[in-house]
């Protein structure tokens, strides 16, 4: 039997434990798996690009469990009242190949992306950081705000989006958390001025320059989330040249991240090295740091592990027959009913 978690189940799980606790716990699972970096089979995701977007598969395994995520990115979907990003995924037993968990990952990816951002920022943001700008106020923005508030104590959020309604939506949703001060800004420049942390999470599939060098102040940490496929960036290349850049898995980020703008030998640090204590995150209080976040399969592996454990503990989800279980494993045909009388009532498919 395979445990199945649909969107309603995932929402119930996160509501039951509380979204801020879920973000913190998810980050713990992600950090634990980055600490086991050498155990994972790692590869860049497989991407199928079209003029309208991209569909990707993100697989990995640690020798005991295997996972994959199916995820899309279609920036124009909003005009059709569709999500620009949606996902689902699977966790399986490596020894048998049998699936143990099939789950929605749209809501869960929003949680894991924000949890990863805040986890990395704990090592990269300067001590005492209290303010953050969020540029791009779509579906990921609330999760980013809550993760940074929960895990770094960020109490002031400055927000900007070219779609004013998106910013008003974010401000309305964060009103449920009165310990977070939300400031509507009139431009990117106004939002980032004086901010300790800047999160960019825009959706356009284009070479964009949301942040330019003159906006960057000493000691800033930039959490670059939106540039996550070939031909899609948010930062001016000179920002990267003058910053300490942290990535998840360098071979993938070279293809999809902000550093696709740079030479192949430009220096970057993979996050697992910080987790293992091999290198420091931030070297001094005036250094500009960038997390070039594109999302990596290990993080989805972690989120599926977390969902599975949470669902078992809360007894949420349903068990489904995703794999046949015939009495005779060599007789798969026995599951069918080849009665001509029943078949004749079906219309021919042509």
Q: Which parts of the chain have pLDDT scores under 70?
A: 204-206, 227, 340-350
**H/E stretch holding 233:** strand 233-235
Give the pLDDT of residue 340. Answer: 63
Q: Write down the catalytic residue from 61, 196, 228, 300.
A: 228
Which residue matches tokens 């898995």? 249
**Strand 221-224, strand 197-200: pairing:** parallel
- Residue 188 buriedness (CB in 10 A; 0-12 / 13-18 / 19+): buried
6 is catalytic: no
Where along the chain do its domains lie? 2-107+299-327, 117-295
Q: Taking Cα atoms as reference points, which of 271, 248, 268, 225 lies closest to residue 58?
A: 248
Selected from 3.40.50.720, 3.90.25.10, 1.10.10.10, 3.40.50.10470, the CATH number assigned to the domain covering 117-295 reads 3.40.50.720
Selected from 3.40.640.10, 3.30.1780.10, 3.40.50.720, 3.40.50.2300, the CATH number assigned to the domain covering 2-107+299-327 reads 3.30.1780.10
Q: What does the pLDDT look like over 181-211, one tens digit per residue?
A: 999 999 999 999 999 999 999 876 667 889 9
Instruction: Return the bridge partners of 184, or none.
Output: 159
Q: What does the pLDDT look like over 83-112, one tens digit per residue?
A: 988 999 999 999 999 999 999 999 999 999
């Amino acid at each position: 039997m395979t445990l199945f978690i649909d969107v309603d189940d995932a929402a119930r799980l996160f509501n039951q434990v509380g979204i801020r606790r879920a973000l913190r716990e998810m980050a713990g699972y992600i950090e634990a798996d980055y600490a086991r970096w050498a155990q994972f089979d790692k590869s860049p995701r497989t991407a199928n690009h079209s003029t309208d977007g991209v569909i990707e598969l993100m697989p990995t395994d640690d020798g005991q469990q295997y996972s994959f995520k199916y995820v899309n990115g279609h920036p124009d979907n909003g005009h059709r009242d569709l999500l620009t990003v949606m996902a689902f995924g699977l966790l399986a037993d490596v020894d048998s190949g049998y699936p143990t968990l099939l789950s929605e990952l749209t809501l869960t990816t929003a949680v894991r992306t924000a949890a990863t951002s805040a986890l990395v920022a704990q090592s990269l943001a300067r001590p005492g950081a209290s303010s953050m700008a969020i540029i791009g106020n779509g579906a990921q923005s609330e999760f980013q705000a809550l993760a940074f508030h929960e895990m770094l104590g960020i109490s002031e959020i400055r927000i900007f989006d070219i779609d004013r309604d998106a910013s008003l939506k974010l401000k309305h949703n964060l009103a449920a958390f009165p310990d977070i001060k939300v400031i509507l800004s009139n431009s990117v420049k106004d939002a980032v001025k004086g901010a300790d942390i800047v999160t960019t999470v825009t959706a356009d599939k284009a070479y964009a320059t949301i942040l330019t060098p003159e906006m960057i102040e000493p000691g800033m940490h930039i959490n670059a989330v939106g540039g996550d496929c070939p031909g899609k960036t948010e930062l001016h290349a000179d920002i990267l040249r003058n910053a300490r850049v942290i990535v998840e898995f360098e071979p993938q980020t070279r293809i999809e991240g902000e550093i696709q703008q740079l030479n192949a030998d430009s220096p970057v640090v993979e996050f697992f090295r910080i987790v293992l204590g091999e290198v420091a995150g931030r070297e001094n209080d005036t250094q500009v740091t960038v997390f070039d976040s594109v999302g990596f399969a290990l993080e989805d592996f972690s989120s599926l592990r977390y969902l599975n454990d949470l669902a078992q503990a809360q007894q949420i989800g349903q068990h489904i027959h995703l794999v046949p279980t015939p009495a005779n494993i060599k007789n798969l045909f026995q599951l069918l009913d080849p009665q001509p009388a029943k078949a004749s009532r079906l219309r021919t498919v042509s």
